[in-house]
């Protein structure tokens, strides 16, 4: 096996108090619980945020089941962020450039490109934005139409990602794309930053943290070239 690579491309969005947040969701905030100035030893902080702020992976329990202690959040299933299999989050990936687009990504738009992806590549990221304002939540964002989610499942993809806050339209009530992806066993990444990435094939590393009771987790997503 050859692990050498020339370049690491960071495709994660910065997270701080100015980071955009889905309307009604909990933004990032930080409290300094001990400062170096006062303690002369260390800085310590405590943080509050929805795990959907910044670049993240949703876990299946985001859209189904229960987060009550003792129900889904145990080690016997893989529905929480920390219990998900890591296999899909590491491996060859194709980036498909649709930027700039604020439309839904329909199967007809990407079918040919998906079929042209190398056979060993079972992950795909859709680039829809050339510019991103990390501090403003844009309601008008590109999302994945459910027929594309079906197609990804049929083609055997294991991960899909995009550079907007959700795989579904903001006004979607039934979250059909989330559900179709989950039914096919795909995982998905949201709020990527693909501005500096050209269409092509890379190696993805984007691991969710081992939060055993959460429905999503921040990831530090990188592409290796």
Q: Which residues are identified as catalytic? A: 62
Give min distance, CB of 182 to Zn ion, in A: 12
> Is 52 an interacting residue with respect to Zn ion (CB under 5 A)?
yes
122 lines the binding site for Zn ion (CB under 5 A): no
Q: For 54-70, give one letter per residue: b (16+ CB within 10 A) or e.
A: bbbbbbbbbbebeeeee
Select from 24-32, 57-65, 91-99, 200-208 the region that touches Zn ion (CB under 5 A): 57-65
> What's the closest the beta carbon of residue 58 comes to Zn ion, in angstroms?
4
Q: Of the candidates 11, 13, 55, 58, which one interacts with Zn ion according to CB under 5 A?
A: 58
- As a whole number of angstroms, the longest Cα–Cα distance in the chain is 61
Q: Could you tell me whether strands 8-10 and 200-205 are parallel, antiparallel, or unpaired per DSSP bridges?
A: unpaired
Min CB(190)–Zn ion separation in Å:
5
- Least distance in Å: CB of 141 to Zn ion? 13
123/178 with CB nearer Zn ion: 178
Looking at beta carbons only, is 117 or 132 nearer to Zn ion? 132
CB 21 within 8 A of CB 29: no
User: Residue 34's Cα: distance from chain center in Å?
Assistant: 32
3-state secondary structure (DSSP) of residue 35? coil
Q: What are φ and ψ of residue 108, in 5° steps?
A: -60, -25
Instruction: List the interface residues with Zn ion, window 169-208 (CB under 5 A).
Output: 190
Q: Which residues pair with 93 in a beta bridge?
A: 202
Residues interacting with Zn ion, by CB under 5 A? 52, 58, 190
């Amino acid at each position: 096996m050859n692990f050498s690579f020339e370049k690491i491309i960071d495709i994660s969005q910065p997270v701080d108090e100015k980071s955009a947040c889905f309307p009604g969701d909990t933004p990032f905030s930080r409290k300094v619980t001990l400062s170096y100035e006062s303690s002369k030893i260390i800085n310590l902080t405590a943080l509050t945020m929805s795990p959907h702020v910044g670049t993240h992976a949703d876990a299946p329990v985001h859209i189904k089941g229960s987060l009550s202690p003792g129900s889904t959040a145990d080690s016997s299933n893989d529905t929480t962020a920390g219990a998900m299999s890591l296999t899909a989050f590491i491996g060859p990936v194709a980036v498909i450039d649709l930027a700039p687009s604020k439309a839904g990504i329909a199967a007809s738009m990407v079918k040919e490109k998906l079929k042209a992806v190398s056979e060993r590549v079972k992950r795909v990221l859709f680039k829809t934005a050339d510019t991103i304002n990390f501090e403003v939540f844009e309601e008008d964002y590109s999302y994945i139409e459910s027929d594309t989610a079906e197609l990804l499942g049929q083609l055997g993809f294991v991960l899909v990602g995009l550079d907007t806050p959700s795989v579904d339209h903001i006004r979607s009530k039934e979250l059909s794309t989330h559900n179709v992806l989950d039914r096919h066993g795909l995982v998905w990444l949201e709020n990527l930053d693909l501005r500096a990435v050209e269409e092509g094939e890379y190696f993805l590393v984007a691991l969710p943290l081992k939060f055993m009771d959460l429905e999503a987790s921040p990831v530090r997503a990188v592409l290796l070239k």
